[in-house]
């Protein structure tokens, strides 16, 4: 069986045709959902990119893997989807990026070049096309096509509306993958990590004019009484949403255009798989590393506690399971579920480290014997204050307070801050996250549920075995 694992960076959950969006056109993603499973309440576990991807690739929560920022090293002891694929007999290929900083304990010394950048390659992947932050391979390709690649990757990306869509960053990645695909004779595993719809908010070619800003609704405005963290974010120019309504609509139009453009690129891949005769032999998983505020609550990008930064698309198509074709999973699912799902699909034992659950029961059309009743995600902002805090031991532990964890239930969202404060939103009364629950007894129930979640997912590499004449429990992966 072939495995195509796709991430679309910063793709929020509601911007899909199958999710009921009134404007955004995503015919290919809608088709994949119609032939597989649509995870309608799917959540990333952290933001920004590196923390979100660490959870996705290892199946662990941030409180387990401790990747708290772009540049936080991923501990080399963790298993991941690429290493799992290798155990299953594949040579997993990477097209794009994984944003995982190397564990400094495995490098040759301080001069190791991998210590100079955060966007390293996840161990186990063969980087057939590595697209680092500077987008150098794409910019070189642009220059070869006779176009100005610009000296700065942000400028090159911002220029996408001025060039034909066939020359976009997404088109280049697709082109390279299709060239590789045509040379594959055996079963394969590939990870396509697309940048779009990540900012800058500039869609390629004709997709930049696909949506009329006048047709686009304005975002949810911020509350008049924001939490101090929310108020602080609203004062930061880089993440404050445009105040002019037309400018805000234009940003949303470009974001929608980026989504439709990358959807079109996926269409090229579907056509190639069908022409190759491997369409019915290919599992496809599509998700994102995190979401996008897109102006909601007065914010852009991905941060804080609002669910727009964490609710993401989730689609799985497995041709071996026609019984679930066209189904929608309305239970809470999370990106930590992807690794255990892939492991079981490939016939591997799910590693002890995984905090998530396999989604195979849903693919088989079955109800899992037990399942979560809420979603969880975390945000750590210590990287914003590292240069301004005294980190002298032991008082430097105050840095540990710069984080939050969210418990998102059916009709509530409970936010626990590292300093002991909390928020409890009543989503049953107000789904816009503006109304707080005033019942302290109910908030206590949610706080207890959060504590149980934390205790359930404590480190457990050795907790399910005992040494002695009769060994009990599972033998941790990596120990022989």
Asked if 358 contacts 341 with a C-beta cutoff of 8 angstroms, the reply is: yes
CA distance 68 to 50: 8
Neighbours of 399 (CB within 10 A): 18
Measuring CA to CA, how many Å separate 169 from each of 70, 134, 158, 165, 203? 22, 12, 11, 9, 10
Q: Is 49 left (phi over 0), alpha (psi -120 to 50) or beta?
A: alpha
Sequence-distant (6+) residues with CB within 8 A of 227 are 423
CA distance 375 to 81: 22
Q: Locate 470 and state its tokens.
A: 């009769």
Sequence-distant (6+) residues with CB within 8 A of 469 are none
From 15, 49, 343, 354, active-site residue: 49
Our CA dihedral for 385, 390, 393, 396, rounded to 10 degrees, sits at -40
- What's 332's DSSP letter? -
CA angle, residues 372, 373, 375, in degrees to nearest 5: 80
- Of 432, 382, 428, which Cα lies nearest the Cα of 402? 382
Q: Locate 202 and state its tokens.
A: 């500039």
- Of 192, 268, 190, 264, which Cα lies nearest the Cα of 7? 192
Q: Is 343 a residue of the active site?
A: no
* Residue indicated by tokens 């997912």: 457
Kindly state the greatest CA–CA separation across the chain: 73
Reported as half-sphere exposure (CB side, CA atoms, 13 A), residue 346 has a value of 27
- Of 115, 96, 97, 95, which Cα lies nearest the Cα of 105? 115
CA distance 343 to 82: 10
End-to-end alpha carbon distance in the chain: 29
- Of 194, 196, 195, 190, which Cα lies nearest the Cα of 94? 190
* Residue indicated by tokens 């911020």: 222
CA distance 421 to 165: 48
- Of 433, 382, 425, 378, which Cα lies nearest the Cα of 405? 378
- Alpha-carbon Rg for the chain, nearest whole angstrom, is 22
**Beta bridge partners of residue 285, listed in sequence order:** 5, 316
Annotated catalytic sites, by residue?
49
């Amino acid at each position: 069986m072939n495995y195509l694992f796709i991430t679309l960076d910063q793709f929020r959950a509601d911007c899909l045709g199958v999710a009921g969006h009134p404007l955004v056109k995503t015919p290919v993603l809608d088709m994949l959902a119609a032939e597989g499973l649509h995870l309608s309440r799917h959540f990333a576990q952290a933001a920004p990119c590196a923390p979100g991807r660490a959870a996705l690739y290892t199946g662990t929560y941030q409180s387990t893997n401790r990747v708290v920022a772009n540049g936080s090293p991923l501990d080399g002891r963790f298993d991941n989807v690429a290493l799992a694929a290798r155990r299953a007999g594949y040579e997993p290929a990477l097209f794009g990026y994984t944003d995982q900083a190397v564990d400094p304990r495995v490098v040759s010394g301080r001069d190791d070049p991998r210590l100079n950048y955060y966007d390293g390659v996840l161990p186990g992947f063969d980087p057939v096309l590595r697209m680092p932050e500077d987008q150098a391979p794409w910019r070189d390709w642009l220059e070869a096509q006779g176009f100005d690649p610009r000296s700065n990757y942000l400028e090159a990306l911002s220029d996408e509306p001025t060039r034909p869509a066939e020359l976009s960053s997404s088109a280049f990645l697709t082109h390279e993958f299709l060239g590789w695909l045509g040379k594959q004779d055996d079963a394969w595993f590939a990870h396509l990590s697309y940048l779009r719809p990540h900012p800058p908010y500039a869609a390629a070619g004709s997709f930049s004019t696909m949506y009329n800003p006048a047709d686009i609704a304005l975002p949810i405005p911020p509350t008049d009484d924001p939490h101090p963290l929310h108020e602080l974010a609203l004062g930061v120019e880089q993440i404050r949403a445009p105040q002019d309504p037309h400018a805000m609509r234009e940003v949303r139009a470009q974001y929608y255009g980026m989504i439709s453009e990358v959807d079109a690129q996926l269409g090229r891949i579907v056509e190639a798989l069908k022409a190759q005769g491997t369409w019915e032999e290919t599992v496809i998983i599509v998700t994102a590393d995190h979401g996008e505020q897109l102006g909601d609550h007065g914010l852009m990008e991905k941060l804080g506690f609002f669910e727009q930064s964490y609710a993401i698309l989730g689609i799985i198509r497995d041709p071996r399971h026609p019984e679930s074709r066209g189904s929608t999973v309305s239970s809470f699912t999370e990106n930590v579920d992807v690794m255990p799902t892939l492991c079981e699909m490939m016939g591997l034992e799910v590693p002890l480290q995984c905090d998530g659950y396999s989604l195979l029961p849903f693919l088989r059309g079955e109800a899992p014997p037990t399942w979560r009743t809420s979603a969880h995600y975390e945000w750590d902002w210590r990287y914003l204050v590292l240069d301004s805090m005294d980190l002298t031991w032991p008082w430097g532990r105050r840095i540990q307070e710069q984080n939050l964890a969210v418990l998102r239930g059916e009709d509530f969202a409970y936010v626990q801050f590292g300093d002991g404060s909390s928020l409890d939103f009543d989503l049953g009364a107000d789904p816009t996250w503006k109304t707080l629950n005033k019942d302290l007894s109910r908030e206590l129930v949610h706080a207890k549920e959060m504590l149980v979640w934390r205790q359930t997912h404590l480190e457990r590499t050795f907790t399910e075995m005992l040494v002695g004449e009769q060994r009990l429990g599972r033998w941790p992966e990596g120990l022989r």
